[in-house]
Amino acid sequence: MFEPFYGLSGAPFQLSPDPSFFYGSRGHKRAYAYLQYGLYQGEGFITLTGEVGAGKTTLIRSLLQQLDSNKVVAAQLVSTQLDADSLLRAVATAFGLVVKDYDKARLLAQIEAFLVSLVPKGRRALLIVDEAQNLAPEAVEELRMLSNFQLQNQALLQSFLVGQPELRQFMRSPRMQQLRQRVIASYHLGPLDGDETRAYIEHRLKHVGWKGDPKFQEEVFALVHGFTGGIPRRINTLCTRTLLAGFLSEKHVIGVEDVKQVIAEFNEEFGEAAPTDTEVAMTKADTDTFVNGAEPAPAMDSSAPIVVAGPPNIINLERRISGLEKAIAITVNLLRQMIGTNKDSDPGLKRRAP
């Protein structure tokens, strides 16, 4: 609702992943390159990990937009808390197969027949498994077995495993040794650094026609980065609330105190506290590469800059986003009621209302 007030054509910081807003930070560009490399190989597994809200889904959707549907048939699994048999059914359904009450043997035959049918058409199958850290070991084994499907020397199925950092630990466990031997490449998507945080905010604003209104004081970007830890979804959440507050106060300049006030509201609503200097931990964004089942290789760029990680007391912020959205909705409804009640008595209000 603040978009018309600032002359924006749309919501710059929406929470739902949108490939059109893709921002190519150093880490995101490298992750994208790894995915493209894996896709070019046309076999095995590629793993992509990162914190909740790091931009993994947006990255995958950006990649899918570039795929030639005449060559690659892509399917995606989102719900991964499944047992082995349910996973097979979910895979079949994702590729559009009707499986009814088939037993496991018939399920596998149906999936294999579908994969084989793609070959004469010059097509192949790509399975994207989101939230893969929730997979049971038995379900992972079923995925590994599906990767065995071949026609002569051609692999019939390639899989991307996308998940939170827990997936990395899961993949390193001894029982995952056979699966690791099928992993072509693996990348961990780290947070944005301070400069990238500013560039990310400006990129999203420019995407919806930002012409410098609102104007942000220089210190605002450092404060946003410090509070969000450089996690894109947290940045979106904080910036949305800050712009909404600016609109309600009819401000065209966003300052440090405005952002601090929003952070204080988070604290009041969700028990979040603004970070102190001692709470800001230092970490390093890293890249892990697996080739032919080898252990993680050293980071490609050993001089990668240190970036600021988010303070522990906001790690779960995005998991309470639904509550935040409800709070925004309540604010919007109250404002609309106020406008409806007062527009006749205050002609200027009618002109200012978006």
**59-99 pLDDT, tens per residue?**
999 988 888 888 999 999 987 778 888 899 999 999 999 88
Q: How far apart are the first and last CA of the chain?
A: 7
What is the pLDDT averaged over residues 138-158?
90
pLDDT confidence of residue 236: 95
pLDDT tens-place string over residues 98-121: 888 888 899 999 999 999 999 999
What is the pLDDT averaged over residues 217-242?
95
Domain boundaries along the sequence of the chain: 26-189, 193-274+316-352
**Torsion 9-12-14-20 (CA) sign:** positive
User: pLDDT at residue 323 above 90?
Assistant: no
Q: Mutual orientation of helices 232-248 and 321-342 as an angle, nearest 10°? A: 20
Architecture of domain 26-189: 3-Layer(aba) Sandwich (3.40)
Place of tokens 């998991």: 319
pLDDT confidence of residue 324: 53
pLDDT confidence of residue 268: 81
pLDDT tens-place string over residues 8-40: 999 999 988 888 898 989 999 999 998 988 888
pLDDT confidence of residue 278: 36
7 pLDDT band, cuts 50/70/90, is very high
Residue ranges of alpha helices (H) inside the chain are: 26-41, 56-66, 84-94, 104-118, 137-146, 166-171, 177-180, 194-207, 218-228, 232-248, 256-270, 321-342, 347-352
Closest alpha carbon to 317 in 97, 15, 109, 29: 15
pLDDT confidence of residue 67: 87
pLDDT confidence of residue 313: 40
User: pLDDT at residue 194 above 80?
Assistant: yes
pLDDT tens-place string over residues 253-268: 999 999 999 999 887 8
Answer whether 265's CB lies under 8 Å from 323's CB.
Answer: no
CA quadruple 173, 176, 181, 183: dihedral, nearest 10 = -90
